[in-house]
Amino acid sequence: MQDPGPARPTVDVEVVGTRGAAKGELRQEVAGDWREWELSGPVQGEVARLTFGVDVEAPLRELFITAPNSEDIRYAHPSQPVWLGYGDHSTGPVRSRFGLSWMFTPPPLVFPFRSGRGWGGVAVGADPGQNLFSAVSYEPVDEHTFEVVVHYEPACRVAPGAVRLMVAAREWSSPGEVIASYAECLRSSGAAPNPRREPAEWWYDTLLCTWGEQCNIRNEIIANGRKDHLEHPVVTYESQANQARWISHLVDQGVPVGVVSTSDKWQRDRYRLLPDVGRYEDLSAFARWNHAASRHVIAWWGLWSVDGAPRDWCICDDEGKPLSVDPGNAEYREVLVEDVTRLLSPSGYDLDGFFLDFTARQALPKALAEGHKTGIELLHDYVALVHGAAKAAKPDAMIMTHCPHPYFADVTDVLRLNDWALKRPNIIEQATYRHQIASSCSDWLINTDNWPLYDVGQWREYLRYQPEIGIPASWFTHGVFGEGDRRYGPFSADDYAVWRQTWAAYRKTMGLADLEG
């Protein structure tokens, strides 16, 4: 019996807003390989949800999940809801069963599905400036019917035609091809940028972040059993002295490190970009020391933090408790640009870029002021502000994020694959899966990351594979305290030899200049 081919859908829409539910009128268009439906009439009041109901001839067989999750589940049965975006979806309107999903935020908002012999898909697109929603979910109804729900948190006004449902009009041979076609459709319609990339040579270089070494110390304290681990948080061990010691150890082993990153908590207050002088007594000297050895230095920064922030610069809940810093606040924006300029400028601390993290910590309040950006749009504006200020201070500054939605192609230079799920022994499968998603969305460079790991064996296995999919990176220098086997595995002389050879071969292949010192 021949497979029926791509799904042939019928679509309707329900608008749920502050004035109750209403049916919206839909206009259908064909955009290359995708059929699109968008609201054509006026929408009354603020919208909380847009629900697109989809009926298909051929029942779906499986879904590919474009948001890596803590359970390391990559394929879903079509009877299971799937959530892409922010928010606590464990207790929300959609009870997705796939655990914490903050590795890619936001992920590409596409649900590749298999119904015939190949892969089709359903997705959501929006005009620039109209990505005001926080998440998109797939919610099954029956074998031939499902809903794609666009969640606005907080509720906001939605312009007709600004948001559209996309359903594949053909089949592809893999989920990656579906994602790539979706991304190209967004670019060709102007819904996503198509930047002309000119990567600086140093962006390709091997990267060290010492967070793994900090975790090693804390894990050994926990394993000791006689010490109070609450008195020894991981951030305790982020300091200029520890960084210099760990970097010097790798240099002594002959491992060619081209880029180093600070870690959480190098800042005095997390919402600012000023060093904690108790940890980094001379950040400029740290930059000079690395630059003298041809290494570049980037600053880790967890976005949205309220640590130390004035209440007036924060997004707050109904009781006035700060939820996150507000990148829409004019005073904060001015200070942020000053901080970025000081941190990267040669006349300031002379760092070279940013490792932006914690994008999933975006606040989802019940309401914001009229005209305030919300959802994905607010995050993009935040990252764009950092990106623009960084490039103004240092034109070859590098911005690394874990925001693989194609809309972020103009504010992301390097896409990080992010933290790993602790499943053994599939580190190569996880990395291949994430790389397939990230590389299908844009032509940004890809940083391979390598924390956390189940055991030191995973580190060895992944070390050899990293150059095949992107920029080699390590979060460890002396060994790995396995987050899975709960044992410490020190690196051997053979480990360092393989590490030296692997990273040196990668650097030679990329044509990178020899490192000094």
- Nearest-angstrom CA–CA distance, 431 and 425: 12
Which residues have a Cβ under 8 Å from the Cβ of 285 and sit 6 or more positions away?
Answer: none
Do the Cβ atoms of 137 and 82 come closer than 8 Å? Answer: yes
In terms of domains, do 27 and 58 share one? yes
Query: Of 156, 188, 220, at which residue does a domain stop?
Result: 188
Pairing of strands 34-39, 26-31: antiparallel
Banded model confidence at residue 250, pLDDT cuts 50, 70, 90: very high
Q: Work out how many domains the chain is built from and give that number.
A: 2
pLDDT digits (tens, 9 = 90+) for 427-463: 999 999 999 999 999 999 999 999 999 999 999 999 9
pLDDT score of 41 more than 90: no
Q: Both 467 and 415 in a single domain? A: yes
d(CA 448, CA 504): 16
Judge whether 140 lies within some domain. yes
Residue 516 burial (10 A CB sphere; 0-12, 13-18, 19+): exposed
The pLDDT assigned to 89 comes to: 47
Mean pLDDT, to the nearest integer, of 106-131? 95
Do 354 and 444 belong to one domain? Answer: yes
pLDDT value for 91: 47
Q: Is residue 293 part of a domain?
A: yes
Give backbone dihedrals phi and psi of 49, rounded to 5 degrees, phi first: -150, 145
Q: Looking at the domain assignment, is residue 5 inside a domain?
A: no
Is the same domain home to 181 and 153? Answer: yes
Question: 423 and 291 in one domain?
Answer: yes
Measured CA distances, 517 to 189, 285, 474 (Å) = 49, 16, 20
Q: What is the CATH number of the domain that holds 262?
A: 3.20.20.80
Q: Which residue has the higher pLDDT, 132 or 6?
A: 132
Q: Is the pLDDT of residue 7 over 60?
A: no
Burial class of residue 347 in the structure, from the number of CB atoms within 10 Å of its CB (0-12 exposed, 13-18 middle, 19+ buried): exposed
pLDDT number for residue 370: 86
Question: At which of 155, 188, 221 does a domain end?
Answer: 188
Is pLDDT larger for residue 448 or for residue 224? 448
Is 514 a domain residue?
no
Beta strands in 145-272 (DSSP E): 145-156, 163-168, 207-209, 259-261
Question: What are 55's strand-pairing partners?
Answer: 10, 145
Question: CA dist 516 to 131, 282, 284, 292, 296, Å?
Answer: 46, 22, 19, 7, 12
Query: Distance between CA atoms of 475 and 451, rounded to whole angstroms?
Result: 6
CATH number at residue 151: 2.60.40
The answer to whether residues 229 and 301 belong to one domain is yes
Q: Tell me: the pLDDT tens digits for 55-101?
A: 988 899 999 999 999 889 999 999 999 999 886 544 444 445 566 78
Average pLDDT, the chain: 92
Percent of the chain surpassing pLDDT 70: 94
264 assigned to some structural domain: yes
Same domain, 470 and 378: yes
pLDDT at 90: 46
Rounded to an integer, the average pLDDT of 243-255 is: 98
Contacting residues for 82 by C-beta, under 8 A, at least 6 apart = 63, 65, 67, 76, 96, 98, 111, 137, 138
Question: What distance lies between CA 75 and its chain's CA centroid?
Answer: 20
Query: 418 lies in a domain?
Result: yes
Residue 6 has pLDDT above 60, yes or no: no
Domain span holding position 454: 204-509
* Mean pLDDT computed over 490-505: 98
Residues 6+ apart with CB under 8 A from 199: 413, 445
Q: Name the least confident of 36-50, 176-190, 372-386, 398-412.
A: 36-50
Q: Of 158, 188, 218, which marks where a domain is finished?
A: 188
In this prediction, residue 210 carries a pLDDT of 97
> Are residues 504 and 389 part of one domain?
yes
Contacts by residues 326-329 (CB-CB < 8 Å, ≥ 24 positions apart):
327/378, 327/381, 327/382, 327/385, 328/372, 328/373, 328/378, 328/381
246 and 184 in one domain?
no
Are 271 and 215 within one domain?
yes
Does 516 fall in a domain?
Answer: no
Other C-beta atoms lying within 10 Å of the C-beta of residue 61: 13
Q: Is 230 left (phi over 0), alpha (psi -120 to 50) or beta?
A: alpha
Report yes or no on whether pTM surpasses 0.75: yes
Are residue 412 and residue 483 in the same domain, yes or no?
yes
